[in-house]
Amino acid sequence: MFQKYLSEGRKIAFDVGDVEPFEINGMRFGGDTMHDTFKRRAVENILLALAQKSGEYELLNVFVDWVADAVEKLSKLPPHELKKLLELFGKKG
């Protein structure tokens, strides 16, 4: 996706969220809690919502279709590797 945008002459910017600690219903969020996946994703989504509302940028990571991504990756596997995965994780019974 980045290469496509660059080839169109568009600019890509990265931003770092420097979050001051805050609490919601007694749950603390801040830079020192970003190791917690749930809290990190919550803060990331808040920052994305704020950036989207500003309208200043087109957000590239607003939505990821995890299912489509997984299907695409699985479709590229060689048949013998796909068979191994199905044997390990396929429906039992």
Please tell me the distance from the alpha carbon of residue 80 to that of residue 84, in angstroms, as a whole number.
Answer: 6
Query: Each residue of 50-69: pLDDT tens digit?
Result: 888 888 877 776 555 677 77
Contact 59, 51 (CB under 8 A): yes
Please tell me the distance from the alpha carbon of residue 22 to that of residue 34, in angstroms, as a whole number.
Answer: 13
**pTM of structure:** 0.53
Query: Containing domain of residue 17, as a range?
Result: 2-89
Quickly tell me which residue has 């770092």 as its tokens: 16
Number of domains composing the chain: 1
Please tell me the distance from the alpha carbon of residue 76 to that of residue 72, in angstroms, as a whole number.
Answer: 7
Query: Each residue of 64-73: pLDDT tens digit?
Result: 567 777 888 8
- Segment holding 31, helix H or strand E: none
